Chains A and B, each alone.
Chain A
Amino acid sequence: MSLLEVQNLRVTFDTETGPVQAVRGVSFSLGRERLGIVGESGSGKTMTGRSVLRLIRPPGRIAADRMVFDGQDLMRASERDMRALRGKRIGMVMQDPKYSLNPVMTVGEQLTEGLRRRDRIRGAEARAKAVAALEAVQIRDPDRVMAAYPHELSGGMGQRVMIAMMLIPEPDLLIADEPTSALDVTVQAEVLSILDALVRDRGMGLIFISHDLRLVGRFCDRVLVMFKGRVVEELEARRLTEARHPYTRGLLNCLPRIGGPREPLPGLDRSGDWAKEGAA
């Protein structure tokens, strides 16, 4: 049985200029694996991820034929049930980590808050767990970072704090929205290997949202390619470079390469039928 099943998910925002359909009928299922979601900016990746946690603020609305996590119907769950799932069984690393962290609480307070509230672990034990989580994500001086406020962190440090915070409760499902976009390649490799180990050894399910096609291609098991709120292609990650859809092919084609020519990068040709409104 799959860990998460989503059928015909739609997210709509009612704005002054009419409804904006951010997600238009997305379906997928996730086992204990690494599922990548790629696709252009504004295609609905974040909204898809947030929908699973029902974290869409009004005027946004979620509708789905089915959204089930480990046997629990997420569309029917009460707000209270959702609160119990969030951060505990389902974690989400937000795309804007520094914005998502609490600006007036130290990193240490934020990392240990869940432990105190949920697991009634406090004091030295909570602190030790938090420090270990920071060390795992390659933070050089965890003691200083524990005492720091979010604005005192670099972009990539904020991202790693957010990842550490989500991993402490050992979730069954982690939704990671651009979790490594601010990390240098060597630290990124370490963070990915932590995520990988959680999937392999603990059977966590991972939804990995990223713009980095090459990263998704080598790290994930499967990939969904989104365009204008729809999944236009689903394929095995290691076959990403063999993608058929003109949109996916176009995306791969726009990437710069080390040692590549200095001419303008090819753009995405949007004249094809696939790019027309309503096309799937």
Chain B
Amino acid sequence: MGLIEIENLSVTFRAKGREVRAVEGVSLTVGERESYGLVGESGSGKSTILRAICGMAPVTGGQIRIGGEALRMPRGPGFSRRVQMVFQDPYASLHPRHTIDRTLSEPLAIHRIGGSDAKVVKALTDVGLPASFRFRYPHQLSGGQRQRVAIARALMLEPSILLLDEPTSALDASVQAEVLNLLTRLREERGLTFLMVSHDLAVIDHMCDRVLVMQHGRAVEELARDDLAAARMTTAYARSLFEASADRMLDPAKAP
């Protein structure tokens, strides 16, 4: 049984009489301690799937279960201790008038967890930011620094499931390496489960055991990591993504 089970999920937005079918009949299962990737066309519904798990998208069909139980609306406080999401757009997800300190300590306060001071400093250190950044506001940070604050915040409540939407696309190579190593270490130490979106197939290959390729609201193909690396895809779309990523293949000359 999977820890996260999504069955035949459909999400339809209605805006000004128009229907936007963002997700149509997508199913996927993520095992406990697994790291599962979502890739695909821009606008194909990847973020919407993550938001649907959090109860933030208009689900019009299908089921989402976590640990075998169907999720309730609204999600409730137990959910946020268990599942945390890092949003694609860190600017929009950080409160502009709250200091970083407040952003990071608020989840602890809501859940009446003590030791906030030390935890905030530790969280910042974990994502490679100086403790002095506590007193800054989001607009005083660079794009990548904001993204790291968003990751730090998601980790504050020590969730067991992390939904990661492009967690490193705003980061430079060295910080990306640090954050990916941190995520991998946390997954090993705390037995975390990841559902993660990325456009970078090298990041997906490095982090994920399996990956679902999406296009236009639908699941196109699921691939195990080895099949991705060995180009054993069966659909033309998945192949086109792979071929357009030629610059990030392991240099054959340097292969072990």
Contacts and interface: CB of A to CB of B under 8 A. Distances in A.
Interface of A: 13, 15-17, 38-43, 46, 95-96, 98-99, 140, 144, 147-148, 152-160, 178, 181-189, 211, 213-215, 217-218, 250-252, 254-262, 264-268
Given A182-B42, A184-B42, A42 B178 contact: no
A111 B63 CA distance: 38
Contacts, number: 180
Nearest to B198: A184
A184 B202 contact: no
B173 A258 contact: no
Interface stretch (B13-21, B104-112, B116-124): B13-21
B88 A182 contact: yes
Given A41-B142, A96-B89, A154-B47, A254 B173 contact: yes
A185 B174 contact: no
A268 B247 contact: no
Given A257-B250, A258-B205, A259-B205, A42 B42 contact: no
B174 A250 contact: yes
Nearest to A265: B177
A264 B16 contact: no
Interface string B164-205: 011001111111111011001100000000000001011101
A260 B144 contact: no
Contacts of A42: 141-142, 144-145
Nearest to B168: A211
Given A17-B132, A186-B241, A255 B15 contact: no
B248 A98 contact: no
A182 B169 contact: yes
Given A182-B88, A184-B39, A264-B181, A46 B143 contact: yes
Among A140, A156, A159, which residue has the most Cβ atoms of chain B within 10 A?
Answer: A156
A155 B18 contact: no
Contact of A258 (B43, B141, B178, B229): B229
Nearest to A60: B140
A217 B173 CA distance: 14
Q: Which 6 A-B pairs have the closest CB atoms?
A: A41-B144, A156-B42, A256-B206, A259-B229, A185-B244, A268-B174
Contacts of B230: 259
Contacts of A259: 205, 229-230, 249-250, 255
A216 B241 CA distance: 19
A96 B177 contact: no
A257 B249 contact: yes
A41 B203 contact: no
B42 A189 contact: no
A184 to B, nearest CB: 5
B40 interface: yes
Nearest to B214: A184
A265 B244 contact: no
A251 to B, nearest CB: 4
A266 B256 CA distance: 16
A13 B139 CA distance: 12
B170 A261 contact: no
Given A96-B89, A155-B89, A255-B248, A265 B180 contact: yes
A275 to B, nearest CB: 11
A261 B207 CA distance: 11
A148 B15 contact: yes
Given A154-B42, A182-B88, A257-B202, A218 B173 contact: no
A260 B229 CA distance: 9
Nearest to B226: A259
Interface in B13-57: 13, 15-16, 18, 20, 39-43, 46-48
A156 to B, nearest CB: 3
Given A41-B145, A96-B89, A157-B42, A15 B174 contact: no
